[in-house]
Structure 1
Amino acid sequence: MMKHIFIWALALLSTQASFAQQTVNTASSTVKFEISNWSIKTVEGTFSGMTGIFNLNTNDLANSNFNVCIDAATINTENEQRDEHLKTDDFFDVEKYPNICFKSTSITKSDNGYTTTGTLTMHGVSKKVNIPFTYNNNTFTGTLEIDRTDFGVGSDGGFMVGEEVSLEIICVVK
């Protein structure tokens, strides 16, 4: 009997360990974005420097959560002059707002994977967003669209810079 209890306890511990909080693999994680420029061209870029915690237990979504940030100064559109301008107070103001963060409030199962709802904070503004995502091989892949002006990013962009930004979040956990 004692042997069975020991085996059951060991199995329980190993199951709980597999659902333990994980950290973001900063080197492998990125946020890709696309935005229109001059209404005729699309600018693509990335952010890196993602850090935070990732706690996803597909058997217990109510107790799962994410708290992840990216370094706003890592913006890269493969145009150094544009990237430096995007870092200024005309757009991201990275000296004042160095991080873009997401903190989940809920995670639910969906037809194509999952959806997380939470608070996206950028440029000192916090908004509730929903991010549909999949999770395979320790990789969270989510997509969403935001209006950059809702966050006060590049408010004076006028017709030169589109308002809608498409984001793809790739978060690898370890």
Structure 2
Amino acid sequence: METGVKTKWNIDAAHSEIAFKVKHMMISTVTGSFEDFEASVETEGDSFERASFNFRASIDSINTKNGDRDSHLKSDDFFNVEEYPEMTFKSKSFDGDKITGNLTIRDVTKEITLDTDFNGIATDPYGQTKAGFEITGTINRKDFNLTWGAVTETGSIVVSDTVKLVIDLQFIKES
């Protein structure tokens, strides 16, 4: 059986966001994002069935709108940016509703599955073909050796183990 022509789609970073949400002291939510990231998709033609996704983010680009917190997240208590400057994701399967692949943070690679909404394909006013996705899910930060923890005097956990991922991606088809 002959396979179709491979099509490459590159991230449109201006219209994409890699965000996460973590409970703080179990009463509020801190939102952060990675400002420096790359992603691409390889498809057969314009069909995203069985598409292959690749993603990389620079840990040094983490932004929670608080410099002290960002510095703490970059330290060995969490990401250890000096030794592990990137996190990566490589998909193993995509069925239109879920994407499964290997997420690597620090020195740990684990298979995760994320809910995926494929929002379709459109052509922008400049003639570029674009595809949009909304990807959500949760991971346990301690699974990836992000193990720092503290408890307040009243017994509240300072940082939740559960991290929500909220990823909005727009890709541009290579011409």
Q: TM-score, normalised by structure 1?
A: 0.79
Q: Alignment partner of 2:162: what SS?
A: strand
Q: Which residue of 2 aligns with 1:61?
A: 49
Q: Shift of residue 73 of structure 1?
A: 1.2
Whole-Å separation in 1 of the counterparts to 2:95 and 2:55: 18
Q: Shift of residue 36 of structure 1?
A: 0.9
Asked if the contact 1:134/1:140 (under 8 Å) is kept, the reply is: yes
Q: Does 1:130 align with 2:113?
A: yes
Asked if the contact 1:33/1:44 (under 8 Å) is kept, the reply is: yes
Q: Alignment partner of 2:95: what SS?
A: strand
Structure 2 alignment gaps of length 5 or more: 122-130, 151-156
1:140 aligned residue (94, 109, 133):
133
Q: Deviations over 1:89-137 (max 9, x none)?
A: 111111111111110011114xxxx211110111111010111112224
2:34 aligned residue (44, 47, 62):
47
Q: Does 1:24 align with 2:11?
A: yes
Q: Does 1:70 align with 2:62?
A: no
Distance 1:28 1:71, change over 3 A: farther
Q: Shift of residue 48 of structure 1?
A: 2.2
Whole-Å separation in 1 of the counterparts to 2:159 and 2:38: 28
Whole-Å separation in 2 of the counterparts to 1:116 and 1:42: 25
Q: TM-score, normalised by structure 2?
A: 0.79
Q: Which residue of 2 aligns with 1:119?
A: 102
Q: Alignment partner of 1:21: what SS?
A: strand
Q: Which has the higher relative contact order, 1 or 2, with Cα contacts under 8 A spaced 6 or more apart?
A: 2
Q: Which residue of 2 aligns with 1:160?
A: 158
Q: Alignment partner of 2:63: what SS?
A: coil
Percent of residue pairs identical: 32
Tell me how many residue pairs correspond in the alignment. 152
Q: Which residue of 2 aligns with 1:169?
A: 167
Q: Alignment partner of 1:173: what SS?
A: strand
Q: Which residue of 2 aligns with 1:38?
A: 25
**Higher helix proportion:** 1
Q: Shift of residue 61 of structure 1?
A: 2.2
Asked if the contact 1:35/1:161 (under 8 Å) is kept, the reply is: yes
Q: Which amino acid aligns with 1:69?
A: R
Distance 1:144 1:56, change over 3 A: farther
**Structure label with greater radius of gyration:** 1
Q: Shift of residue 60 of structure 1?
A: 6.2
Whole-Å separation in 2 of the counterparts to 1:169 and 1:115: 13
Q: Is 19-28 or 34-43 further displaced after alignment?
A: 19-28
Whole-Å separation in 1 of the counterparts to 2:20 and 2:30: 8
Q: Which amino acid aligns with 1:163?
A: D
**Higher strand proportion:** 2
